[in-house]
Amino acid sequence: MRPLLMALLAKEPAHGYELKQALEQIFGNAYPSPNIGQIYVTLGRLEKDGLVRVVDVEQSNRPNKKVYYLTAAGRESLDTWVDEPTEGPRVRDDFFMKLVLAPMTGLADRMTLINRQRRHYLALIRDLNELAERIDPENRVALLLVEGAMLHLQADLDWLERCQEDLS
């Protein structure tokens, strides 16, 4: 979440709740939105690392508001994040390890593992189909996130089939 918050702060200084709202607005309901506590914990860490700084802004008839802004060091760190090549998303190799190792130790047979995993992927796909129906059609970002997740699941299914062909 660190680079996300820093990127939002590079646009303009903001307080924690505004950052949460901005994330929700951008990703819609496609991505789990962090709770306000997580946002403040992350901001606290960024502050400790000198990447953001906080000022108290006085408000009439209300307690002071803590507004965060990006420091020069924060800007540099954000530039590095943008410029460096991006690692692929999480590779779920845990299943593959099970598939290779479990039969050796007699813990499970491959066909059972593959069948269970296929059903799991299909259930996730159903979840995504249902999620896509709830997304505001104007929210291209959220829809692309769902499409990306779908394509990952397609690759997972294809890989499962390859494993079945070659290991059975």
Partner 1 sequence: MTSPVVDTVNLVKIYQNGAVPVPAVRGVDLRVAAGEFVAIMGPSGSGKSTLVHMLGGLEARTSGEIWLDGQRADTLNESAWALLRRKKVGFVFQFFNLVANMTVADNVELPALLAGASAREARQRRQYLLGELGLTDRADAAPSQLAGGEQQRVALARALANKPSLLLADEPTGNLDSRNTRDVLRLLGEVHRDGQTVILVTHDARVAGLADRVVALFDGEIVDDGTIGMARRRPKATVGDVVELRG
- Nearest residue (CB) to partner 1, 62 versus 90: 90
Q: Looking only at residues 76 through 105 of this chain, which bind partner 1 when binding is defined by CB under 8 A? A: 86-87, 89-90
Residues with Cβ < 8 Å from 165, sequence gap 6 or more? Answer: none
Amino acid type, 86: T
Please give the structure tokens belonging to residue 62.
């209300």
* Euclidean distance between CA atoms 6 and 38, whole angstroms: 14
Q: Looking only at residues 131 through 150 of this chain, which bind partner 1 when binding is defined by CB under 8 A? A: 131, 145-150
Q: Looking only at residues 21 through 60 of this chain, which bind partner 1 when binding is defined by CB under 8 A? A: 29-32
* Euclidean distance between CA atoms 147 and 71, whole angstroms: 35
Task: Please report how close the Cβ of residue 135 comes to partner 1 at its closest, in angstroms.
Answer: 10
For residue 26, which phi and psi values (nearest 5 degrees)?
-70, -50
Chain positions contacting partner 1, by CB under 8 A: 1-4, 29-32, 86-87, 89-90, 111, 115, 118-131, 145-150, 152-154, 157-158, 161, 164-165, 168
